Structure 1
Amino acid sequence: MKHGLHALHGLPGSAEAGVPALRTGEVRVPAQTRSVDALDALDAVETPAVLDADRERGDAAHGVRGEHTHSERPIPPPRPVVQRASVRGQIVDALRTALVAGELKPGQVYSAPALGDRFGVSATPVREAMQQLALEGAVEVVPNRGFRVVQRGARDLSELAEVRALIEVPVMLRLARTVPAERWAELRPLADDTVRAASTGCRATYAESDRAFHRAVLSLAGNAQLVQVAEDLHRRAQWPPVGGPVRHGRADLVADAAEHTALLDALIARDLDVVRSLVNEHFAGSA
């Protein structure tokens, strides 16, 4: 619920002017081998003449031309699409974490090559990751420069909290009437996880556990589209506004996590009045 936070995948510092250094965290994006980093280079050299030559070599390998040359170089293996997607996904997660932790500053422009240098990868997967964040509303494209982190104020957070309440409160009240107590009890470990995450004082760590708890609660409705929309809104609500997070201290996180435990107790007891009060207060406080 509220501004949760997830373990920071920091970025090592850089001497590039105009791009602030980010803390080194625990993100482990694998060092890029030629299979990933050379993608742009391969694109550059695969001219029609080279492709024709490759086709001839392929024909020769299958006996089409009736000749065999021991000196011809082997045909390159297929490009590792899965590996590239995996790297891009790790970078998306790292950038989302940096947003929650305030490592990527609202209004600041970041270039894909500079961020790529910090991650130890080419600019291509970073650019693709940033495009995903642009779709999520976290950044906006700045032509010929890179991506600017979107600036949001308290009103933006209030609007997000209102929309989340409109979606989640009715669902939770319906689930409180229909879901048996033993099913709610199964979510106790997730509520406990939020308490442990809050005790660390790490915004990024708490963000992930916070979303996991809400996702599990809403999943009981059996509506995948609902869960996806709510998850997107929740993630947006966790990005700090301009000027820093409204609630950012360890005590705030602990208080937020305690509401998860209280909500779960009310759901198990089917106390609809307490459920309604807790959820409404929770979303109101998230602004």
Structure 2
Amino acid sequence: MIVITAPTGNIGRHLLSRLLESAPAAGEELRVVVRDPARLPDAARGRVEVIAGSHADAEVVDRAFEGADAVFWLVPPIPAPTPRDAYSGFSGPAVRALTAHGVGHVVGVSALGRGTPLADRAGLVTATHALDDLIADSGAAYRALANPSFFENLLEESDSIREKGVFSDTADADRKAPLVAAADIAAVAAGLLLDRSWTGTDSVPVLGPQDLSPNDLARIMTEQLGRPVRYERQPLDELHTALVGHGLTESFVRGIVDMKRAKDQGLDAGVARTPDTASPTGFEQWCARTLRPAVFS
């Protein structure tokens, strides 16, 4: 039995699709934890066991993990009072349930940067690494998918790209860094969940096929969308003010700002791209398949 949390999100929907194709042949049953079962794809209906509710809820994860052999764990991007609350606090009931039910294997969504000089002052990333340690202490074999930023973050900029030809972030315009498609993360997760010959605790980097700067992204988007797109750098203090204005706590905002600062200082640059760490989806392909429909919808 494989349990999938957040099965309708950016990564989870790709993972569910892959496992629906391959799990039956491997003799695996699937169970999903989802707040709104109506959002599950038609292909999943009648083929997965559904546990309705939040995977932050102790009763929900206790039911979900009973009899489970493996769990895909993803913390949703929900603001909380502090970064620790957002990750370890959210996941506390699940970690206790993993131990109580003797779940053998867990694959979690994490972040790059562990072991670098920036790791202990990277805000939300630091909190993510603390959660990795908490899951590893549950007794399950654990693989943390160490990811850079996602291509999908640009979907939040689709209105601005459509209306103004502009996208923004806080990184230096020429700072090259790895970027990855959510579907590629899901592919790695599916492989680990289906072939559970691994033991112990480790991280698995998923780096995309090449490093790209914001200026590179602007150039590729211009080519793929057939209209000019440019990058505007947002100062960190301006980001801070905007997030506080949206009602986030000072602690959580500081976690976001510290993460952005660390990434701009090279947090994601500590892992070499090899055939094992590279993933296949290029930004050009992702733009054509995902961003273009979003911009022109």
User: Is this a same-fold pair by TM over 0.5?
Assistant: no
TM-score (norm: length of structure 2): 0.25
| Higher-helix-fraction structure | 1
Bigger Rg over Cα: 1
| Higher-strand-fraction structure | 2
